Amino acid sequence: MRSISRRTFIALLAATFAPRPANGQPVRRTWRIGYLNPGSSALAPIRLDPLRDGLREVGYVEGKGVVIEARWAEGDFARLPALAAELVQLNVDVIVTAGGSAAQAAKGATVTIPIVMVDPGDPVGSGLIKTLARPGGNITGLSSAARDLVAKQVQLLREAIPQLAVVGFLTGNTAAAALAMKDAQEAAEGLGMRFQVLEVRGPSDLEAAFQALPRDRRRAVLVFPDPLTFSHRRRIMEVAEQDHAPSVAGSREFVDAGGLMSYGPSFPAMFRQAAMYVSKILKGAKPADLPVEQPTKFELVINLKTAKTLGLTIPQSLLLRADEVIE
């Protein structure tokens, strides 16, 4: 009689007594994917839906063996730790986070469940991971941070407005914003311009923030795309238009909301790409071994309707470099 190993015997035993439906096929596992966003659920079409699309492309279809547990802080960052703990209690297989605050909350909630972060700012500088190549721990994903990105945004403002003398930096005061602020200041002062921080804690602060800028046409605003400014981007652009203040941001959604220019990576594309990380992890890969990606393609989008409203003439040399011009 042929003998079998103990491991083989256990595997055969498990297969024999595994739950089976009426047709005799093994019960298919249901994957539970957590999603944590500090913003509003109104952002789902440009944040969560691209993740769903990416998952579908790699064979993970919601409702067919996949459950997505989405949690939104609705702009209240203090809720993030509790929401992250809730996902851990649900025993999700992986957590996808949006922004640095959500990634920090997830990291604080678990050291075992894999985390795929999207747009965490500088994940090394903020202490989320050890290095981009070898993140270590249970976290990997995609970073929106890129060397000289905000410096390039400052340069684009000067190119669009040659007489520019003051650059305001509008931020919700996140850790990621603090890291970018220094680069923006160096770029502005390097071009002989004054740099001014415009910190806001909510939409009620916006009008006072813009009014703190010099009252002439030689100023513009760099809007840092953190969860607070992103959630209130339409109101920000309304106030900017009322104040006749040109703006540049790191996300094209600000231009769609009425801003003058944006230069940065495509965030919907990043969330779609995050599905590849989720797929690899569900198939057994360890986050510690998956390098964190940085953006390699940046989009320049210009809103000529806004330029006309502001009385600006955008140089042809800048328009020719744009990936998209809204007319």
Asked if CATH classification 3.40.50.2300 holds for the domain at 149-264+298-326, the reply, yes or no, is yes
What mean pLDDT value characterizes the chain? 89
CA 238-163-186 angle, 5° bins: 85
Q: Which of 91-95, 144-148, 187-191, 312-316 has the lowest average pLDDT?
A: 144-148
**The length of the chain, given as a count of residues:** 327
Short-list 33, 3, 11, CA closest to 97:
33
Same fold, 6-145+267-289 and 149-264+298-326: yes
- What's the pLDDT band for 20 if we cut at 50, 70, 90? low
pLDDT, one tens digit per residue, over 210-255 is 999 988 889 999 999 887 888 889 999 999 999 999 999 999 999 9
The answer to whether residues 296 and 257 touch, using CB atoms and an 8 Å cutoff, is no
- What's the pLDDT band for 312 if we cut at 50, 70, 90? very high
Matching CATH number, 6-145+267-289, of 3.40.50.880, 3.40.718.10, 3.40.50.620, 3.40.50.2300? 3.40.50.2300
The pLDDT, as a whole number, for residue 81 is 97
- Per-domain residue ranges of the chain: 6-145+267-289, 149-264+298-326
Distance CA 281, CA 120 (A): 19
Short-list 250, 161, 245, CA closest to 198:
245
The pLDDT, as a whole number, for residue 195 is 96
* Tokens describing residue 104: 């920090």
